Structure formats: structure tokens, C-alpha cells
Amino acid sequence: MYRTFRLPLLALLCLLVCTCSPSAPGIDGLKRSKADRLNKMSFQQRYQNAAMSERYARQALHFLNDSLTTYDDGRLRAWNNIATSYYVRSCHDSAFRYVDSVLAYDGNSPNREVEQVLAHLIEARLLQRNCDIAGSYQILYDIEHSGFMDSDDGGLLYNLARSEFYITTTTLNYHYRSKSQYQQAELLTEMERRRQKLRCDYAEDMSFNYALAYGYYSLCNDTADQSRHLSKALHYCDENLHLLGDSSRFSTYHLGNTYQLLGFMLWSKRMKPQSWEDNADALDSICNYVDLTFGFTIADSADTAMAFLREATSLFFLHDDPYQRLAAIVATGRYCMTRGDTATARNYFFEALIDTTMMGIAPKIEAMLYEGFLTAGCATSLDDVALWTRKEIELLNYIKQNESADFMLQLELSKVKRNSLHYLAFTLALAVLSLGLIVSLILLRRRTKALQHETAMLQQAKKKDIERIANVETCLSVLRHDITPFVSYLQNEKLPEALKHEVITQLIRTFENIKNWTNLSIPSGLQFQSSTVHLNEVFERVATSINNFRGAALQIRFEPTPLAVRGDSQLLEIMLRNLVNNAIQYTERGSVDVSARIADDNDRFVEVSVADTGCGMTPDEVENLFRADKKIKSSPTSHPADGDGLQIHYGTGFGLILCRYIIKKHDDNTRRGCRIWAESTPGKGSTFRFLVERVEEEAPTTSKQAK
């Protein structure tokens, strides 16, 4: 009997060992299952309730930190879940922070590769919303050519990543780029072919359906096959509606998206009447299902497109994503304008003025909003017209620059692709002729890699050239503004020697800022050198280098501090010296106080402040401080040059713009969140503050005051 059951028992024992073995040594199975359950709950709530999704993910993180510190797979999943929840709520900076956490992970987690691909895809979506088309396309291009999409792994995370890749790619094509009809159709065909293997959950199915429906709707530009493409788009909308008809799968987010797309299709002027006649039954079926299932009556509506768009807007206002709310408002308002209903359009546009959380999250949609403000007559004054016109122009210029960068990237990558195909064909021909020419094949493949690397380097160089040209234009504009007063003063023969010396000193300081700006902005100039910087040492160097031309009437004090930060010591010194000199220029008497402390709202940053008792600024002047296209008032000295009452007015420009640029360098090269701002009260003084990454390392302090 023992021999009879020995083999089955051994097989069962092996199965139990394999099943119960943890994915990493030393991980408790029960604890791991609890973390996985919290992450799964977070994942399932990502579209239905993003705030709840974040809460579950944070619970998973707390549990991992307390009880399962070695389970990095769970930690990566929680970070990606939090990034997704922030993306759904349009908290883009926070989403980037958790994406960076996943991408910076360099451990040996089994799921590291797929989690980092998912993080890259979230990053690509965020870049799309910010109209960084080239950046998003580069990410998708790298994933496509990494071999990840051809992997045989059929796990849930891998299917999710492949599904998200297709959704993100189609979104980029139909919202932000002009892909050829053939390329778009080819992509949609591939998505349909692989769809059955990419099942994840119902939310992902609905996102996939929406991407396919919108993709086929974008193909309706091809009037030759428009009816078939419209049929496909309606089919996937109908499939989504039937999924949403199950109460356990209902989502205002996906229902709003589907309604809005149906509204777009009915609104589209490129649709031929014959195409709608061919698909009348499909549309009627959708309208009847919507009426029976969701209680939303379409059949009796005088304007079906408006009914769908209006209902989509209402649904998005039940959701917590300001991006979707803004897009719905703009779409519905613009449709009303095409129908000549300016009053209703104006009501929709006014919603964006009431809810300011919708502003600043999507340049493309926001530009349309400002256009709507102007065309619908929302302005109550000429100031409103001027402000909205300026903002629309700024956003359109920003979008145009990004489109130009994307066009250049496509040209370069197309060139690489063509070269690769040519070399591959040549190699195959040589292989057929003789096996002895395998060496040539190897050399050609190496050459192809070299060309790809060269193309990438050329792309970076062109990007730096564009940045350099923009910086030169800014430099010339501010330079003209800053040195013109000094030149005028020096041409005055009656200017006393003391004031002439002061003018020359300020002129030298301006040119010193120009030199620093040039070193920072030109690619071959000064490079960012990150290190641990003791602020007290920076304070001491700045204190010994400043020129207090106010004399005893002005006290300059540097408060000793033990704090250390992560950054470039030389750049921090330049920035602090500019802020202190700026404070001296605007303060005739009293004090200029320099101090540092741990930031109140985030102890990972140090807040450095420069406070003066000078003339102060109005709110409008504070708002335009760090902008190259805005000029604020000059600071007069209190010393008339002669009987004519001539006063010296200092230029304003390079110092604060340079400070903004230095802070951006720190934000790009250290922890995200570095920034600079000012607070001021007219007649009482100003305080300039900036945040840099904190390093938990203390340095000895010495008390020092400037003369």
C-alpha cells in the first residue's frame, strides 16, 4: 500500500512546496497576501474613487514599512497605484514624484521591469497632458523597441502594461499627433488581434474599448471607408455601455468618456449623411439601451450631440478629475458656439472661472478655453480681454514649440528606422551570397547601433540648441532693459563722481549676472555639480562679497545655521548674493536679514529667506517678479545727482531671472519641489524665499554679520 501511494504523495508534496514558496527569501506568505490584497483594492478603485485608491495604497505602504520591509514588489505596486490615483485627479507633480520613486528603484525585485514600464507609461500620459509630445513619444518608442512588447510573459502586470502601452499610443496619435490613416489603422488592427490576451479587469477593458472607439472615429477622415470606421467606433461604444450596465462595474468616469465620444461623433462635420444612414440601427440601439439602463432619454432630444455632451459634463462633475471637467466644459461650450447658442456657451465657460482647480493642468484644453472666453463674450472689461488674449498666445506658442520638437524627433527616428532597414536588407543579401561574410553583418549591426546612438546625441544637441537660442533671446531682451538706464546716466556730464561710481558698480554687477546666466544657459558652459552644501559656509562667502553702499543706515545680518542641503554650492552662492544685493538696492535704511530653517510643510526641504525693510511691492509686481517678459518698477537711490534732482534707478531683470533659472536647475537635478517666491507689503518690505533639498547633516555654526 505504501508503494501504491508513494508517487502521488511525493507529487503532492512537491506541488505544495512550489505553491507555498515565497517570491523572495524570508517573506511571510500571510503578510505578503495582506499587502497584495490592499494593493489589489487600490488598483480596482483607480477610476471609480481615486482618493480611496490612494488610501488603500498608502495602507499597503505603511504595512510594508512596519511588517514586511523586504517585500519590494509590493512597494513598487503601491507606488504605481498612488501615481495612478494622482494622475486620475490631475495632481501631476505628485504623480511624477511616485513615478520617479519606481524608476529610481535599482534592486532585484522580480517585478521591477514591468513596474518600471508601467511607471514610464504613467509618465508618458502626464507628458501628453502637458503637451510634451516628443517626450511622450520617446518613452513609447523606447518601450516598443526594448523587446518588452514581444515578451512571452502572460502575467496580469505584463498584460496591464501591454494594454496601457496601446491605450497611451492611440491617445497620443488621435489627440496630439497627425499619424497617417494607414499607420493608425495598422495599430488598431494589432490592438484587436491581441486584445483577448490582454484581459486585466473591467476598468481596463473599458479603457481599451474607448481607445479603439476613438481610434476608429479618428479614421473617419477617410471618407472612402467612413461608414465602416463609424460602425467600428459605435460598436466599441456599445460594448462599453453594456459593461457599464452591470452595477458592479458602473463608473461615472467611463460612462462620461463614452457619452462624450458619442457627442463628438454626432457633432463632427466630416461625417457624411450616408455614413449615419448606414449606421442608423446601431445608433438607435445605443440610444434605446441608454434610456432603458441609465434612465437617460436621447430619442426625444432635439439635439442628440448636445444631449450626450451635456450629460458627459454632468458626470465628470461627479468625478474628482479637474482635467476631465475642464475638457467637458470646453467641448460643450465650443459645441454651443457652433450652434449659435452663445448664452449657453458662456454659462459653461464661466464654470472654469468659478472652479480654479481646472486651470493650469492641460495647455491644449486651456488655450481652447481662453478662445471660448473671448468668442463667447465672457469679458467684463478690457483687462479681461488683454489677459485672456495674452494667456492664449502664450499657450499656443508653448504648444507650437512642443509640436516642432516632436516633428524633429520623428524625422530623426524615421531616419534611424530607414537606415536600419537598409542595413538589414543589405546584410541578408550578403548572408545569402556567402556565409563567409558574417563578419560584415556584425560590423553593419554595430554601425546601426552607432547611428542610433549618434541620432540620440544629435537629438539632445538640437534640444540644447533650441534652449540656447531661447536663452539668448531672453538675454538680449533683459540686457537692453537693464543697461539702458546706466548708459543714460553715464552720458550725463553733470553726474557727481560718487553717483557715477555707484552706477558703474551696478553696471558691473549686471554684466556679472550676464556672465553667470551665459554659463548656466549655454550647454557648453557651467555644469551643475551636486554635493552636500553647508549653508553657513555659503552665508559666510556671500557676507564677505557683498557691497553695502548704504553704510551704517542699513544693517545686513546672516543668522547662523547648522543646516545642510543638496545642490550646487557655487550656484547657491550666486543666487543668494543676487537676492541680498537686490534687497540692498531696494532698502535705504533698516535691515536685511538672511536665515534658513526646515520648511514647515515638508521637512525634506530647507527654506532660505532674505527679508528686508525696504519699499516693498504691490501684488501685481510680486506676480511678475521672475518673468523675463514683464518689467517691474526700478529702485531709485535717495541721492540726487545735482540741482536737477537726477536720481539713479537700478534696472531689474537678470538678477531674479537668474535666481529662477538656478532654482530650476536644482529642481531638475535634485529632489522635485525646489522653488522660489516672494512676499511683500508696499512700504514695509519684502521677503524672498526659496526651497532646496535638505541633507540631514549638521555643520558647526559661526555668528557673522555683514557691514
What band does 516 get if pLDDT is binned at 50, 70 and 90?
low
Residue 705 above 90 pLDDT?
no
Is residue 590 within 8 Å of residue 555, measured between CB atoms?
yes
Hey, CA dihedral for 499, 503, 506, 512, is it positive or negative?
A: negative
**CB under 8 Å to 540, separation ≥6 — which residues?**
558, 702, 704
- The per-residue pLDDT for 642 is 44
- What is the CATH number for 622? 3.30.565.10
What DSSP string describes 640-696?
--STT----EE--SHHHHHHHHHHHHHHHHS-TT-EEEEEEETTTEEEEEEEEEEES
Residue 74 included in any domain: no
Residue 698 above 50 pLDDT?
yes
- The per-residue pLDDT for 16 is 34
Give the three-state DSSP class for 533: strand
Question: What mean pLDDT comes out for the span 495-505?
Answer: 68
Q: What is the rounded distance in angstroms from the CA atom of residue 371 to the CA atom of residue 356?
A: 17
Residue 231 above 70 pLDDT?
yes
- The per-residue pLDDT for 513 is 63
Q: How many domains does the chain have?
A: 1
Residue 17 above 50 pLDDT?
no
Question: In the chain, what percentage of residues exceed pLDDT 70?
Answer: 77
- The per-residue pLDDT for 486 is 61
Question: Which residue carries 499657450 as its cell?
Answer: 395
Q: Is 479 left (phi over 0), alpha (psi -120 to 50) or beta?
A: alpha
Residue 484 included in any domain: yes
| Structure letter (DSSP) for residue 188 | H
Question: Which residue carries 516598443 as its cell?
Answer: 144
Q: What is the CA radius of gyration of the chain?
A: 31
- The per-residue pLDDT for 632 is 52
- The per-residue pLDDT for 626 is 77
pLDDT in tens, 559-593: 999 999 999 998 899 899 889 988 988 898 999 99
Phi, psi (rounded to 5 degrees) for 48: -75, -45
Question: What mean pLDDT comes out for the span 635-652?
Answer: 48
Residue 238 included in any domain: no
Closest alpha carbon to 206 in 176, 172, 167, 170: 167
Closest alpha carbon to 425 in 441, 413, 443: 441
What band does 21 get if pLDDT is binned at 50, 70 and 90?
very low
Residue 452 included in any domain: no
pLDDT in tens, 181-191: 667 888 898 99
Give the three-state DSSP class for 254: helix
pLDDT in tens, 124-133: 999 988 888 8
Residue 85 above 70 pLDDT?
yes
Residue of higher predicted confidence among 344 and 354: 344
Residue 237 included in any domain: no
Residue 149 included in any domain: no
CA angle 314, 317, 322 (to 5 degrees): 135
Q: Which amino acid is at 357?
A: T
Three cell numbers, residue 124? 508618458
Residue 20 above 80 pLDDT?
no
Instruction: Please tell me which of 64-78, 183-197, 287-301 the model is most confident about, judged by mean pLDDT.
Output: 64-78
pLDDT, the chain, mean = 81
Three cell numbers, residue 198? 490582454
What band does 546 get if pLDDT is binned at 50, 70 and 90?
confident
pLDDT in tens, 209-223: 999 999 999 888 777
Question: What mean pLDDT comes out for the span 631-646?
Answer: 48
What DSSP string describes 93-157?
HHHHHHHHHHHH--S--TTHHHHHHHHHHHHHHHHHHTT-HHHHHHHHHHHHTTTGGG-----HH
Residue 480 above 60 pLDDT?
no
Lowest mean pLDDT among 9-18, 325-334, 419-428, 528-537: 9-18
Residue 521 included in any domain: yes
Three cell numbers, residue 543? 557676507
What band does 248 get if pLDDT is binned at 50, 70 and 90?
confident
Q: What is the rounded distance in angstroms from the CA atom of residue 508 to the CA atom of residue 61?
A: 54
Residue of higher predicted confidence among 56 and 414: 56
Angle between helices 92-104 and 112-129 (to 10 degrees): 150
Is residue 252 within 8 Å of residue 315, measured between CB atoms?
yes
- The per-residue pLDDT for 1 is 37
Supply the range of the domain harboring residue 626: 477-706
- The per-residue pLDDT for 498 is 63
Lowest mean pLDDT among 184-188, 296-300, 502-506: 502-506
- The per-residue pLDDT for 53 is 93
- The per-residue pLDDT for 580 is 92
pLDDT in tens, 133-142: 888 889 998 9
Lowest mean pLDDT among 161-175, 408-422, 660-674: 408-422
Phi, psi (rounded to 5 degrees) for 491: -80, -10
Residue 420 included in any domain: no
- The per-residue pLDDT for 18 is 37
What band does 19 get if pLDDT is binned at 50, 70 and 90?
very low
Residue of higher predicted confidence among 12 and 574: 574
What band does 3 get if pLDDT is binned at 50, 70 and 90?
very low
Residue 612 above 90 pLDDT?
yes
What band does 5 get if pLDDT is binned at 50, 70 and 90?
very low
